[in-house]
Amino acid sequence: MMRVAQVERETEETKVKVKLSLDGEGRYDISTGIGFLDHMLELFAKHGLFDLELHAEGDLHVDYHHTVEDVGICLGEAISKALGDKSGIRRFGFFILPMFESLAIVSVDVCGRGFLSFNAPDLEGKIGDFDCELVEEFFNGFVGRSGITIHVLVQYGSNRHHIVEAIFKAFAKALDMATQMDERVKGVPSTKGVLE
């Protein structure tokens, strides 16, 4: 079964194209016009073993908000499409990831209901010209279209770059775990018989 998807979204603010394979090798071709976001998405693909092509154009002369949010929306939609009815997946995943002085925990439930709990108290200010508050906006966009519940908890950290990198790497590993096929799982992993 090929678990792949393509998504395109065009608004007055952004134009985004995504091609995703859940069962990849961690290959990527990413260009959003936002260097730091590109770096985080490359980490996501590499450590989640997802093959990801993602290209975005946005109104960066305004700020990065619209582009970051719409990239999250499109990636979430691609994940949802690639998963299909979610038969045979593990459904739950979590990872605790150290990045030098920072430690991030990410837990996911591929349950069909998008929800985000984002607890990163030390994540304020900027990383270069990237507003740290946009990390949460990316994940808000993602959960809204993916139907995935995500809990992000940063235990501690002092370097903003390390904190965000720990979040994205832990997210990749947790999502990889949750979306993996398990031959013991027959049908949809829910007593309701459906994940929505």
Q: Kindly list the structural domains of the chain, giving each domain's residue range(s) and its CATH number in brackets, ordered by start.
A: 4-179 (3.30.230.40)
From first to last of its 196 residues, what are the pLDDT tens digits of the chain? 789 999 999 999 999 999 999 999 999 999 999 999 999 999 999 999 999 999 999 999 999 999 999 999 999 999 999 999 898 999 999 999 999 999 999 999 999 999 999 999 878 999 999 999 999 999 999 999 999 999 999 999 999 999 999 999 999 999 999 999 988 877 666 657 666 7
pLDDT at 185: 75
Q: Which residue has the tokens 């501690």?
A: 156
Q: Are strands 102-109 and 92-99 parallel, antiparallel or unpaired?
A: antiparallel
Average of per-residue pLDDT values in the chain: 95
State the Cα angle at 15 between 125 and 7, rounded to 5°: 105
pLDDT at 184: 80
Residue type, 148: I
Q: Which residue has the tokens 């304020």?
A: 124
* Tally of CB atoms within 10 A around 28: 17
- pTM score > 0.85 for this model? yes
Q: Are 56 and 138 in contact (CB under 8 A)?
A: no
35-67 pLDDT, tens per residue? 999 999 999 999 999 999 999 999 999 999 999
- Burial of residue 4 (CB within 10 Å: 0-12, 13-18, 19+) is middle
Percent of the chain scored above 90 by pLDDT?
A: 88
Number of H helices and E strands in the chain, helices first, is 4, 10
Residue 53's SS3 state is strand
pLDDT at 121: 85
Residues 97, 95: Cα–Cα separation, whole Å:
6
Q: Are 188 and 181 in contact (CB under 8 A)?
A: no
Beta bridge partners of 81: none
DSSP class per residue in 73-124:
HHHHHHHHHHHTT-TTB--EEEEEEEETTEEEEEEEE-SS--EEEEE-TT--
